[in-house]
Structure 1
Amino acid sequence: MNILALDLGTSSVRGLVLDGDARPLPDALARRKVTLTVHDDGTGTLDPARYLACLAECLDELAAAGHLDGVELVATSAQWHSVVPLDAGGAPLGAVLTWLDTRPVPLARAAGPADADAFHQRTGAWWHRCYWTVRLPWLREHCGTPIARFVGLAEYVFGELLHEGPMAVSQASGTGLLDLRTVDWDAEALALAGARPEELPVLATQDWRGRLRPAYARRWPALARAAWAVPVGDGAASNVGSGCVDESRAAVTVGTSAAVRLVQHMPAHRDLPRLPHELWRYRVDHDHVVTGSAYSSGGNLFAWAHRELRLPEGAELDAALARLSPDGGRPANVRFGGDRPPGLAPAGSGELRGLSFGTTATEILAGLMRGMCDLIAVDLAELESTVDGPVDVVLGGGAVAASGWWRSAFAAALAPRTVWHQPNPEIGAIGAALVALGRIDAAAGLTGIVRTDEKDSYS
C-alpha cells in the first residue's frame, strides 16, 4: 500500500507519495508555491480558488509520472487557525484568513469569557484574534455580504474535492471553539463567536474516511478508490514526523513560522492536567494532545533578510555565518509578524538594535536567527514545567534543515539539553501519514535523527 501525503502550508502546497511505512518514495514529490498576501495593516491571506488549483496541479504532476498508482490512503497536514467565509451555495465570500492575519479585533460591544482561566483550561485557547471567537464576529462585520457558514482551509479543500468535508478534532481544536475533553463545540466559545453549530463544519468521527467526487476521480483515476483520512493540524503532524510523541522529547519546528511543542497521550472524555497560562493546547486526535507555543516568525525571517539585505548565496553565506559564533549577530526583536497568542503585539513590531556602520548583512541575519532561538528557549522552559524534568529537543522543518549555523545556534541557546536534528524537511506530511495509519507511538522510533551541538560542522 502507498500513501499520498499532502501538506497544506502557508507558503506552499505539497504532495508526496510514501510507502506503507510512511517512507518517501524516490522523486515522488510535487510542490507549488502559493501567494500569501501580506500588508502592513496585518493582512495575511490566501486566495482559496488559487490554492485549490495549486493542489490540483501537484496531483496532476504526480499522476502524470505514475506516482499515484497503488495509493490507497490520503493523509493531510494542514495549517491551523485559518477561516474561510462561505455563502449559502458554499462559495467563498473572501480570502482565506490565515494564522498570520492580525487584523481581527474584538467588537466594541463584545465581552470576553466569564472566567478566562476556566475557558483556557477547557479549550486550550484564549479570547484572541488568532481564534474563531474573535475572527467570526470580525468577518461578519467586515464581509459586506451575509455569511452562511465558516470553514477552515482544509475543510474548504476537502469540501471541493470530496463528497463531504467534515472538520477533524485536530483542526477544530485550532479554532479555539472546541472543548478538548468532550471533543465537542464549547457552548461559551460558540457564544463568543456568535455562531451556531450549523454554521460550522460537522465534526468528523474518529474513523471517518472520505472519497473523491466523480469529476476528480475521473481526473485522477488512481485515487478513485483511495480513502482520505481527516486532516491533522500542521504542528501536531510535525511533532509526530519528528518522532516527538511523548514527554521525553519536544519538537522545535521552523518552517515559515516556528513553534515548540510536546505531544502527550490524553484520551478524550478524561480530565486534562492543568495548562500554564502562557501555553496553548490542541488535539492531535481523539487520544493525544499537543501543548506548546508558536511564533509568527521563522523561516520568513530568513527569507526577508535574504531578499532585502541581498545576502550571498549558498556556500558563500554558509562561510560568512561560520565566522560568527552561535550566539553572534546583532540584537533583534523578531516579532515582524506580530505575536501569536496569547501575545498581542501587532504586525510591524520587529526591531534591529545595536547597528553601526560596520554591521554586516550576515550579522543582521545571525541576530534574527539567534533572536528566534532565545524566544523558544524561554517557552521550552515553561513547557518543561508541565512534565517531570528536562526533555530532549528535536529540530525540524525546512528552515533549520537548510542552515547548519541556525542548528548550532539552537543547540547553544537550548543547552544543556540534548539537541537532535531531523533532516527530512517533509516531517509534517510524514507525521500526518502516521496519524492516519494509527501509528503515532511508532513515530518515536523514527530513524534519521542526528545529534546537533556546538561543534556542528554547518553541513
Structure 2
Amino acid sequence: MNVLALDLGTSSVRAMVFDDRALARPDALARRGFDLSIAADDSGGATLDAGEYLAALCACLDELAKGGHLDDIGLVAASAQWHSVLPLDAAGRPLGPVVTWLDTRPAPPDGATGPLDPEAFHQRTGAWWHRFYWTVKLPWLRGLGLAPARYTGLVEYILGELLGEAPMSVSQASGTGLLDTAALEWDPEALEIAGVTTDHVPALAPLGWLGRLRPEYARRWPQLAGASWCPAIGDGAASNIGSGAVDETRAAVTVGTSAAVRLVQPAPRGVELPPLPHRLWRYRVDDHRVVTGAAYSAGGNLFAWARRELRLPDGAALEETLQDIAPFAGVRADPRLGGDRPPGTAPAGSGALSGIGFGTTATELFAGMMTGVCTMVLGDLEVLESTVDHRVAVTLGGGAIAASPWWRRAFELALAPREVAHVDDPEVGCTGAALVALGRADQTSG
C-alpha cells in the first residue's frame, strides 16, 4: 500500500507518493507554486484565492495520475498551513479570499477586552488574544461588512470540496486559538470572544475519522476511489515529525517560507499539560502529542526577497560571494519585514538594519539579515529548553536551509554548543504527514 501525501503550504502546493515505510517513491512528486496576494500599500494584507488553490492541487494530482503514480494508494495524508480562515455563506461558498497567517490587518473591535484571565487562556489554548488567531480574525471579518454563515480553514475548504465532508483535525483546530488543547474541545471562552458558537466553526474530527472522494473526483482519479483520507495535521507539526524531531530530546528548526523552532512532547487526550512559558505557543500534532515552539514571519521569504532586491546571484554563485563573510560580524538586522508572529504585535514593515557604512556591500547586508533570523531562533530555543530542563539537540531543515550552506553554518554557530544535525529532505512536511498517517510518527529519520 502506498501513501499520497499533500503539502498545502503558503507558497506552493505539493503532492508526493510514499511506500508503506514512508520512503518516497522515485519521481512521484508534483508541485505548483502559488503566489500570495500581498497588499501593495503595505497595509499587511496577505490572502489566497481558495478556488485557484484547489485548482493547483487538482493539477498536481492530474500530473501524478498521468505519470502512473497513483496506483495502489491506500491512504491520503496532508500537511497544511495553520491559522488560515475563510468566511463562507450559507451555501458554503467563499465570501472573500483566505486570510493567511501572514496577514497583519486583523485587529480587535473597539472596546473589546479579550480573555478574563489571559494567562489561564494561554495555558488552555496554547494561544493568545492576537490578530493571528480566530478570536480576533472572526470579529474583524464581520467588521468588514461580511455576514458569514460560518467559517472554515483553507484545508477544510479544500478537502470539503474533494470529499464532501471534512471535519477539522485537532491539529488544525489548535492553530485557530479556539481549542482547549488538553480537553480537545472548542474552548467556550474563546468562542465567546470570537463571537461565534460551535455552529459557526467546523466540526472536530472524531478519533479514527477517515474520508472518501466525492463521486465526481473519484471518476477523475479512479485510482483514489478506494483510498482513505486522513485528517490534516499542521505544517509545523508535520515538519518536526518528518525531520525526526519526534520527542523532547530534539528540537526542529525549520526554515521554509517562514521559520520556526519547535519541540514535540507526548500528551494523550485529557491529560493535564505542563506549564507553558508566555513567549511560546502550543498546538497539537494529533490526539497523542503536542508541539511547542515559536515562529517568525521571516524565513525563506526573507532570503528570496533580499537576494532579489540586492541583485545577488543564486545557488553556488551566491555561496561564493558569501564565503569570505563571517556570520554575526558587521551588519545587524531586525528581520521582521512581515511583522511579528504572536505574542508580538509589530506590524508589517518593522524590519531594520544597523551597523552600515559606505563600505558595506550588498552581500554583507544580505548576511546580516540571515543571521538576524538565527539570533531570533536562539532566544526562543533557550526558552523552549526551560520547559524540559535540559539542552536539546537540534535538527535543521526546510528548503531555505537546503538552499544555502552558508546560512546553515550560521545557524550551527548560533546554536552551539548543541548538537546540530541537518536533514536534507526538502519535503519534510509530506514525509511527516505520511509517517503520522501510517502510525509511524515515532520513527526517526536517523
TM bucket normalised to smaller: over 0.9
Spell out, residue by residue over 1:51-103, the C-alpha distance to the aligned partner (whole angstroms, 9 max, x if none).
01000000000000001111111000000000000001111000100000000
**CA distance in 2 between partners of 1:267 and 1:232 (Å):** 16
> Equivalent pairs: percent with the same residue?
65
Unaligned runs of 5+ residues in structure 1 are 448-459
Contact 2:38-2:44 at 8 Å conserved across structures: yes
TM-score by length of 1: 0.96
The residue that corresponds to 1:281 in the other structure is 282
By how many angstroms is 1:109 displaced? 2.4
SS at match of 1:250: strand
SS at match of 2:27: strand
The residue that corresponds to 2:415 in the other structure is 414
Counterpart of 2:73, as a letter, is V
Matches within 5 A, 1:368-383: 368-383=369-384
TM-score by length of 2: 0.98
Counterpart of 1:15, as a letter, is A
Match of 2:52 among 50, 56, 64: 50
Contact 1:294-1:340 at 8 Å conserved across structures: yes
**CA distance in 1 between partners of 2:314 and 2:35 (Å):** 23
The residue that corresponds to 1:384 in the other structure is 385
The residue that corresponds to 2:19 in the other structure is 19
Matches within 5 A, 1:82-101: 82-101=84-103
Spell out, residue by residue over 1:366-396, the C-alpha distance to the aligned partner (whole angstroms, 9 max, x if none).
1111000000000000000000310000001
Counterpart of 1:14, as a letter, is R
Contact 1:329-1:365 at 8 Å conserved across structures: no
By how many angstroms is 1:229 displaced? 0.3
The residue that corresponds to 1:9 in the other structure is 9
**CA distance in 2 between partners of 1:430 and 1:408 (Å):** 24
Counterpart of 2:417, as a letter, is P
By how many angstroms is 1:327 displaced? 2.5
**CA distance in 2 between partners of 1:133 and 1:174 (Å):** 11
The residue that corresponds to 2:264 in the other structure is 263
The residue that corresponds to 1:453 in the other structure is none
**CA distance in 2 between partners of 1:43 and 1:188 (Å):** 28
The residue that corresponds to 1:451 in the other structure is none
Counterpart of 2:25, as a letter, is L
By how many angstroms is 1:328 displaced? 3.6
Contact 1:282-1:291 at 8 Å conserved across structures: yes
| Residue range with higher mean Cα deviation, 321-330 or 147-156 | 321-330
The residue that corresponds to 2:162 in the other structure is 161
**CA distance in 2 between partners of 1:283 and 1:145 (Å):** 30
Contact 1:260-1:292 at 8 Å conserved across structures: yes
**CA distance in 1 between partners of 2:92 and 2:329 (Å):** 51
**CA distance in 2 between partners of 1:438 and 1:205 (Å):** 17
By how many angstroms is 1:326 displaced? 2.8
**CA distance in 2 between partners of 1:378 and 1:44 (Å):** 27
Structure 1 outlier segments of 4+, above 6 Å = none
SS at match of 2:96: coil
| Residue range with higher mean Cα deviation, 115-124 or 324-333 | 324-333
By how many angstroms is 1:17 displaced? 0.6
The residue that corresponds to 1:108 in the other structure is 110
The residue that corresponds to 2:296 in the other structure is 295
Matches within 5 A, 1:25-424: 25-39=25-39, 40-142=42-144, 144-328=145-329, 330-424=331-425
Contact 1:151-1:201 at 8 Å conserved across structures: yes
The residue that corresponds to 1:456 in the other structure is none
**CA distance in 2 between partners of 1:280 and 1:145 (Å):** 30
SS at match of 2:262: strand
By how many angstroms is 1:439 displaced? 1.5
SS at match of 1:290: strand
Number of positions where the alignment pairs a residue of Structure 1 with one of Structure 2? 444
Counterpart of 2:52, as a letter, is R
| Residue range with higher mean Cα deviation, 176-185 or 326-335 | 326-335
SS at match of 2:128: coil
**CA distance in 1 between partners of 2:252 and 2:59 (Å):** 31
The residue that corresponds to 1:436 in the other structure is 437
SS at match of 1:121: helix
By how many angstroms is 1:163 displaced? 2.4
**CA distance in 2 between partners of 1:441 and 1:63 (Å):** 31
| Residue range with higher mean Cα deviation, 353-362 or 288-297 | 353-362
SS at match of 2:159: helix
SS at match of 2:274: coil
By how many angstroms is 1:329 displaced? 5.2
By how many angstroms is 1:117 displaced? 0.4
**CA distance in 1 between partners of 2:25 and 2:439 (Å):** 20
**CA distance in 2 between partners of 1:330 and 1:75 (Å):** 43
**CA distance in 2 between partners of 1:315 and 1:420 (Å):** 22
By how many angstroms is 1:276 displaced? 0.5
Contact 1:83-1:98 at 8 Å conserved across structures: yes
SS at match of 1:441: coil
SS at match of 2:275: coil
Spell out, residue by residue over 1:380-421, the C-alpha distance to the aligned partner (whole angstroms, 9 max, x if none).
000000003100000010000111001100000011101110
Contact 2:315-2:403 at 8 Å conserved across structures: no
Contact 1:234-1:428 at 8 Å conserved across structures: yes
**CA distance in 2 between partners of 1:394 and 1:206 (Å):** 30
**CA distance in 2 between partners of 1:99 and 1:145 (Å):** 20
**CA distance in 2 between partners of 1:313 and 1:283 (Å):** 37
**CA distance in 2 between partners of 1:46 and 1:376 (Å):** 28
**CA distance in 2 between partners of 1:372 and 1:8 (Å):** 24
**CA distance in 1 between partners of 2:176 and 2:263 (Å):** 19
Contact 1:328-1:370 at 8 Å conserved across structures: no
